Amino acid sequence: MNCVICGHESGYNRAVIDRFSGAKIGQLCMNCERDEFGKVFEYGSRGDDQCVLCRRDGHIALPRFVPTEERNGNTIVVRSTIDDGDAPQLCDEHFHAITEDEPPKRVVRR
């Protein structure tokens, strides 16, 4: 899965999930999380259903991947499972704002 913002291989940082259909839309890499959100997600997850950037209903959930070790005989297999505890959420507007190619147009008034 690739990052929904930069399109590169995202590693295991966060999953991007449509809360209504449950569909996994993609992933979010660590660089984009930092660039777009800074530390918002670290402090922004309030355990409620609102967008971390505004007060609208969350539409997209961004749960973190948590590596878990499983012992399989003598080998240890590391899997990444999604921690869907208090995942930060984004409303559809903010989600589109960060994933759209073009930056939002600025209206300049003179």
Contacting residues toward Zn ion, per CB under 5 A: 3, 5-6, 29, 32, 51, 53-54, 56, 91, 94
Q: How far is it, in rounded angstroms, from Cα 45 to Cα 77?
A: 30
Cβ proximity to Zn ion: between 47 and 73 the closer is 47
CB of 21 to Zn ion, least distance (A): 19
Question: Residue 80 pairs with which residues in a beta bridge?
Answer: 67
Cβ proximity to Zn ion: between 3 and 61 the closer is 3
How many other CB atoms are found less than 10 A from the CB of residue 3?
22
CB of 29 to Zn ion, least distance (A): 3
Cβ proximity to Zn ion: between 26 and 82 the closer is 26
The count of C-alpha atoms lying within 13 angstroms of the C-alpha of 73, restricted to the half-sphere facing its C-beta, is 1
Q: Is residue 97 within a helix (H) or strand (E), and if so which, with residue range?
A: helix 92-99
CB of 81 to Zn ion, least distance (A): 21
